Amino acid sequence: MEKIYIVLAHTGTLLSRIIKMKTGAEYTHSSIALDEDLKKMYSFGRKNPYIAFIGGFVKEGADFGTFKRFYNTEISVYELEVSEEQYKKVCETIEYVKNHKDEYRFNILGLFLAGFNKKRKLPKTYYCAEFVKAVLEKSNIDTSGLPEVIKPEHFKYIKNSKLIYKGLLKEYKKKNKFMDNLLEFMLSKKASNIK
């Protein structure tokens, strides 16, 4: 079995605050990550951290882009076990979009209409939640519990997922660093006891 991660975020940007106010949702952005450290995290969002409406396919991380600019971003991280075949398909789908990112557009109208539970889908256009759902569907991962008009909040209820973190994104990085250091310390102690 392999694992992928769905990251729900609220950055506190003006656009995210408007969406949160309109919908009452806790989170206004979603991403998909291929690793627990969130170093391989992808979505459709701002291409420039300072310009809200110029978006497209983006690689995301705590140390760069929008999340770096909005360092008090709140997140929830959901872990989802998938088969090796599904994981491979997730990677291939993301890689395809990455290699053809100039052909894809940010679905700003779809994002706006989603607030009214309406759908507007054009070929090769996504907003964040549409992209995450499309990657899951193309990888034969069960999305049957998700609505057609998808919002980041809906991923809280995806089948077979487990919440592994809730808090600030900047603290998540520290949490993982602490765990890495603890593991390294334990392994070094074990090695010294063997000698």
**Which of 15 and 190 is assigned the larger pLDDT?**
15
Q: In the block, which residue shows the tokens 């110029």?
A: 54
* pLDDT tens track for 23-55: 778 999 999 999 999 999 999 998 888 887 789
Query: Structural domain boundaries of the chain?
Result: 2-170
Query: For residue 185, what pLDDT is reported?
Result: 58
pLDDT tens profile 84-123: 999 999 999 999 999 999 999 999 999 889 888 899 888 9
Q: CA 8 to CA 120: how far, in whole Å?
A: 22
Percent of the chain whose pLDDT exceeds 70? 88
- Residue 163's pLDDT band, with cuts at 50, 70 and 90, is very high
d(CA 99, CA 112): 27
Confidence of residue 4 (pLDDT cuts 50, 70, 90): very high
- Amino acid 111 reads L
pTM, two decimals, is: 0.86
φ, ψ of residue 159 in degrees (nearest 5): -60, 145
As a whole number of angstroms, the distance between CA 41 and CA 38 comes to 5
The confidence score (pLDDT) of residue 115 equals 81
Q: Which CATH architecture has domain 2-170?
A: Alpha-Beta Complex (3.90)
Least confident of 52-61, 122-131, 161-170: 52-61
